[in-house]
Amino acid sequence: MLNYEIQMGEHEREPEQYDGYGNRIIRNPFPGLRPFSIDECHLFFGREGQVDEVLVKLATNRFVTVMGYSGSGKSSLMYCGLVPVLLGGFMTDVGGDWNILVSRPGTSPIENLAETLLSSRKDLGSATEDDKQASRMVISSLLRSDVEGLVRLIELQQKGSGGNTLILIDQFEELFRYRGSEDKTINEESKAYVNLLLQACKQQRSSIYLAITMRSDYVGDCAKFPGLTDMINQSNYLVPQMTRDQKRIAIEGPVAVGGGAISGRLVKHLLNEVGDNQDQLPILQHALMRTWDYWVKAREENEPIDIRHYNAVGKISEALSQHANEAYDELSSREKEIAEILFKSLTQRTNDSFGMRRPVRLGLVSELAEVNDQEVIQVVEKFRRPGRSFLMPPSGVPLNSDSVIEISHESLMRIWNRLRNWVDEEYESAQMYRRLSEAAAMYQVGRTGLWRPPDLQLALNWQKKQRPTRAWAQRYDEAFERAIVFLDTSRITYEAEQKNQEMLQKRLLKRTKIVAVVLGVAAVISILFFVFAITRNIEANKQRELAEQKRIEAQKERELAITSAEIAQEQKEAAQSQKERAEKEEQNAREQAEKAKQALEIAEQQRNYAQEQSRIAEEQREIADSEKEKAQSAREAALTEYQRAETNFNRAEKLLYQSVAQSMSVKSLSIEDDNLKALLAQQAYMFNKKYEGRTYDPYIYNGLYSALAQIKGASYNTISNIHRNAVRSIVFQHNTNTFYSTGSAGKVASATLEHPDVHSIIGSNPYPNRVLKVSPDDRWLVNGSDSSAIKLYDLQNASSLPKEVKGHSSFINDIVFIPGQNVFISVGGDQELRRNDISSGTSSLLKKLNEQYKVIVISPDGKSLASGTLSGRVILTNLSDLSEQVLLQLNENPVQALAFSPDGKYLAVGDEKGVVRLWNMTNGKIDYEFAGQKGRISDLEYSRDGKLLAASSLDRSVQMWVTDEIDELPIRMTDNDAYVWDIAFSPDSKYLVAACGDGEIRIWPTNPEFMAENICSEISRNMSVDEWKLFVGNDINYQNTCVNLLLNDYK
């Protein structure tokens, strides 16, 4: 007797197939992600001999635990190995009459066990649903109330028929995966469930055997149940890793049974790709299932399954993702939204980035998606129809609101790109909610305060984008209302603070004006001092002229006195000469002599007076000169003070308006009205430019960009019609705005910035492409991919077939051209560095490497090659003698991106942790280090003029620095929903183009001026006076932001 869980192959049975030549083809022999079912035991190969060991342990101990890694084949070993052997009577001591009960713990282990027991009862085949529900309740009650309840129920079924019972508990680890240690009720149910199983195994009255399968990494959790631990230690079987020969049999055996043939080179290729990775087996089965289907449709007569069929479905690395995308693309827009909610509910990510399955009731998904159950069922059916089996239960099992849906295998979370992005989004959303809930709980007890930006803004953005509901939140923290109230309170409080801040800002503006008036008065006083000094200077000049006149007069008096003295001397001599002749006149002569003496004294006095006047005049001149110097100094001091006051005023005014501009830009981000949002951003730009703010101010840039993006819609900077899967590389021609892109789908396309919505296909590969480069003369496009051959496309002859350069033996990691030559250097997964010549089409080995090089760049002078390794080293290779120098060692932190500045001064280095370092090639030191991105740096690019440096990251962001202002905040582009794998500046540095993981290409303008030139043409009005007063301020005079538009003067 078997229940549906091991008969699922019956529900997926497909009709017989015939190829184009009329040959009958048995249905696809590969199950895909799901385990083999019991009716597919003839297709189960590679585990021969292992069933015997399991059977011996089961027969000896009546219990066996089969353990192994996820995907190691535990369930298939039981369904296609143990169960057929038991039913075939190979356990000779007890015979071949077996009742097989298969169950899984799931979210309600005892209820699931009760359901298994109910489905195995033959007497309920024609019973009504009410009778079945009553029986289900009785069975569940007995299991919960009596530790021997399971034994009694089995004995009741065996009564009269005898036989043996095997209880097969598949995926026993669910008992730990879906339970929390804090919930006492759940833990008690787990203990009761384990006790029921152990008691059934230990009792001796009935022939009951127990087998469980469990992932080996959960063995430690069994220590919570001592009795179970003892039994596992006594009887367990660890599924061994398949040898290369066993894997070969597992590939070739089903193909042969299915009536097909497979080439030896494909088998060898598959074995090499799988390697020793045990968890790759389900992915291998899925890839083979897809390859078989494609081979049936596209094979030539007598052609075996070969590499071309395998490559066509995407190989192991992409087959699962492409298959899942096919199912997703069949959905309508509304169904795609439901699918996203469904898969986010079915998965969860741990803190160490490990993905886990999470079963969920179909009804809960309906509640989360706000749709009815039938709409969810339609989506589920798309992903579990025959040949897909992405979801469980398998196709054919009826679904209802209580049905438990889960992902068939964890590998889907690792391989399907879209699901991986959804898992990351759900994890980030849950982390944000947990942080919010924890903060709300701490705030409630007074241990923390309300949130403020940036935490508040991030939380509000999360709330707007995710629109969380109570049903969603309960899976992470039940206090949903408390968290939302805390967020609303934080928002209201912050908005009130912002209003107060605006008032304070207005007061500051008023105070600034007062300061300006005071400074103006001071300037006037300085001018008065200047006038006073000039007046004093004029007065001093007048005094000097007066003193000069007095000095001249004194000089004249002195000359007159000297003349008088000379005359007196002559008279004295005349008197003396006449003394002898005129004794009669002796008395008269004496009198004349006396008079002459008196005249001489008077002359002497006049001479002394003249000298005194000359001295006084000289002192007056010196005083006048001194006063003139003082006046000149006072004038210069007044002029300096005036200039300083004017400079301070201008500086204060600039800083004020720059601050107002940044504030307006930030405000514009939350405005929903297109016109007002654009006007605020544009006016902020105008203030910033007029008052000499930074040209690349991130606040101004974000305001302008957000305004244009809102006006022009979601497709403003997006090209989404070229690629369906991840875009991995993008590159411009050197002299035009033509760019080329490629990605996981293998398609190589070209487009231009002038007409980005028009593209042409250059070529296509049946495997993912990794890198594109354009030759220095713009003639050749070089394409490196997962293939070992490098393709060369002749851009001047589009109709010609691409050339191939062969030399590598594995995938291509990176390519770089030597400046000025049609020669490029490549590095691949084969750890070889090779020199490739386009003209001759030859490839020569430069160096055999000791480790994996992830990225290479060449210096501007073409003399040195810088390489980044997965071990965290940056190595500089001299291309003339191939000597090496280790520049940087990041201690097992892989180097993911490198870029030389155009002048060769700096080497930019990006690592796995999101850190960008600028290595100075001159002094051999790290000059700058930036840690603003949270995920791997996927690419680094300098603009052609060297003024800009951009870094892309797997955290979905792009950052752009101005190299002359490298210490300032970078411009951050975050309006992207997927990984950013590659970036490229246009030749004129006006645009930055990004290759994204969701198949989109993003185009961002680099200069705010370009966006500002386009704002006014997109809107229909200017700000009203009331809007100006509200968002700009009463103290700033109104002006038309867009002069070509009229003012809407409404209040």
Is residue 455 within 8 A of residue 498, CB to CB? The reply is: no
Residue whose entry in the numeric block shows the structure tokens 């008279």? 571
Q: What is the pLDDT of residue 7?
A: 40
Q: What is residue 723's DSSP assignment?
A: -
Q: What is d(CA 797, CA 780) in angstroms, rounded to the nearest whole number?
A: 10
Q: Mean pLDDT of all residues in the chain?
A: 84
Cα maximum dimension of the chain: 200
Strands 906-911 and 355-357: unpaired
- Residues 744-771 pLDDT 10s: 888 999 999 998 888 899 998 887 899 9
What confidence category does residue 49 fall into, taking pLDDT thresholds of 50, 70 and 90? Answer: confident
- Residues 979-1030 pLDDT 10s: 899 999 999 999 999 999 888 999 999 989 988 988 888 898 899 888 888 8
Is residue 879 within 8 A of residue 819, CB to CB? The reply is: no
Q: What is d(CA 380, CA 376) in angstroms, rounded to the nearest whole number?
A: 6
803, 809, 813, 815: CA torsion to nearest 10:
-40
Residue 380 amino acid letter? V
Q: What is the pLDDT of residue 777?
A: 93
Task: Give me 701's structure tokens.
Answer: 């840039």
Residue whose entry in the numeric block shows the structure tokens 């942790």? 913
Q: What is d(CA 817, CA 828) in angstroms, rounded to the nearest whole number?
A: 15
Average pLDDT value for residue range 456-468: 86
Q: What is residue 218's DSSP assignment?
A: G
β-partners of residue 939 are: 952
Q: What is the pLDDT of residue 589?
A: 53
Pick from 131-145, 408-422, 934-948 the range whose average pLDDT is largest.
934-948
Tell whether the model's pLDDT for residue 121 goes beyond 70.
yes
Q: What is the pLDDT of residue 168?
A: 94
User: Residue 1028, Cα to own-chain centre: how many angstroms?
Assistant: 37
505, 509, 515, 518: CA torsion to nearest 10:
-150
**CA-closest candidate to residue 75, choices 162, 157, 169, 4:** 169
Q: What is the pTM of this model?
A: 0.49
- Residues 857-873 pLDDT 10s: 999 999 999 999 999 99
Residue whose entry in the numeric block shows the structure tokens 């206090």? 479
- Residues 634-652 pLDDT 10s: 667 666 766 776 676 677 6
Q: What is d(CA 283, CA 412) in angstroms, rounded to the nearest whole number?
A: 9
End-to-end CA distance of the chain: 82
Contacts of residue 334, Cβ cutoff 8 Å, sequence gap at least 6 = 371, 375
Is residue 493 within 8 A of residue 452, CB to CB? The reply is: no
Give per-residue burial for 170-190: e unless 16+ CB within 10 Å, then b: bbbbbbbbbbeeeeeebeebb
- Edge-to-edge strand list for the sheet holding 208-215: 98-103, 164-169, 208-215, 63-68, 236-238
Packing angle of the helix pair 698-712, 1008-1015 (nearest 10 deg): 40
Q: What is d(CA 137, CA 158) in angstroms, rounded to the nearest whole number?
A: 21
Higher-scoring residue by pLDDT: 12, 404? 404
Average pLDDT value for residue range 586-602: 63
Average pLDDT value for residue range 818-841: 94
